[in-house]
Structure 1
Amino acid sequence: MEDEPIEILLVEPSPGDTRLFTESFQDASLTNSVHTVSDGEEALDFVHQRNAYSDKPQPDLILLEPQLPGTSGFDVLSELKNEEALCDIPVVVLTSSDVGEKIVKSHDIDAEHYLQKPVESDDFIEFVQSVENFWLTIVQQTTPPQEQE
């Protein structure tokens, strides 16, 4: 399982941030395939594998910016958490500050993890390492423990 690529869906409206995210993932040692969409409706189409995304894989991990045009990140997160077929996909909400995390939580929707988006381009590699650490924690939690005697 460790050698299989991680299918990551990045939901980010800023083209500049999307470029920095994808380049940082390419530069990191994390085995992944990053798919990007720029709004909430595209994100829902992607996870439901419909319309232009019918041939795309189900994401293993979603990085979600809550401030999206059209269908908000809050609505996307709510749908992900309320649909049985999607609720097991881990979601990392990208926030610009601690206040951003509080705003998301104030909508009575909770993600698996919150990460502050980097401000400087040099900080994106550290951010990618945070995502990798989160993913490895998820994999370890879902791997059945060996029987102890």
Structure 2
Amino acid sequence: MKSVKILLVEDNPDDEFLTTRILCKLGYSAIDVVHQGGEALEYLFGEETHNYSTAIPIKKPDVILLDMRMPLINGIEFLEAAHANLKTHEIPVIVISSSKQEKEVNRCIELGAKAFLNKPLDSIEIGRAIVDYCPNHP
């Protein structure tokens, strides 16, 4: 098994199942899953909700797989908060979405996303993205 810690942020149970299945088949076993952008921020920063830019992270995954469309705090809002913090902006974020809107893709890249993959996910594509963008990959 590969020792890369992955945070999957996905609100759709079917997409969560498929993504974790792909990751397990690729040899990844350290996968934490949260279901909303707010939960992802809480995962990173704990109860700190007032100023993400100065919050001290309590958990730092090696890579984040981020769904774009989620209730309450969407992928772009999550990226804005995580990218504003100097201690978390270097965590590679791979956006996974059914959206192909160029404006949305460009905004994610501006906010530090390393890749933007379209659903349904392809195991080769996601595996390559993790290897290419995760500095802790063996």
* Short-chain TM bin: 0.7 to 0.9
Equivalent residue runs for 1:53-64 within 5 Å: 57-64=59-66
CA offsets, 1:75-99, max 9 Å, x none?
A: 1011111100100000111121422
Q: Does 1:102 align with 2:97?
A: no
Aligned partner of 2:25 in structure 1 is 27
Equivalent AA in structure 2 for residue 130 of structure 1: E
Aligned partner of 2:44 in structure 1 is 47
Contact 1:7 1:59 in 2 (8 A): yes
**What's the TM-score once normalised by structure 2's chain length?**
0.77
Larger Rg: 1
Aligned partner of 1:121 in structure 2 is none
SS at match of 2:5: strand
Work out which of the residue numbers 122, 130, 134 in structure 1 matches 2:129: 134
Deviation at 1:110, TM superposition (A): 4.3
CA distance in 2, matches of 1:32, 1:117: 21
Deviation at 1:104, TM superposition (A): 4.3
Inter-CA distance 97–75: structure 2 relative to 1 (3 Å threshold): closer
Aligned partner of 2:53 in structure 1 is none
CA distance in 2, matches of 1:97, 1:6: 27
Percent identity of equivalent pairs? 28
Structure 2: unaligned runs, 5 residues or longer: 48-57
Inter-CA distance 31–17: structure 2 relative to 1 (3 Å threshold): closer
CA offsets, 1:120-149, max 9 Å, x none?
A: xxxx5xx2332221222235xx59xxxxxx
Equivalent residue runs for 1:1-40 within 5 Å: 5-28=3-26, 30-40=27-37
Contact 2:11 2:35 in 1 (8 A): yes
Structure 1: unaligned runs, 5 residues or longer: 119-123, 144-149
Structure 1 residue runs of 4 or more that deviate by more than 4 Å after TM superposition: none
Aligned partner of 2:117 in structure 1 is 115
Deviation at 1:62, TM superposition (A): 0.6
CA-based RMSD of the aligned residues comes to 2.4
CA distance in 2, matches of 1:137, 1:110: 15
CA distance in 1, matches of 2:112, 2:89: 11
**What's the TM-score once normalised by structure 1's chain length?**
0.72
More helix by share: 1
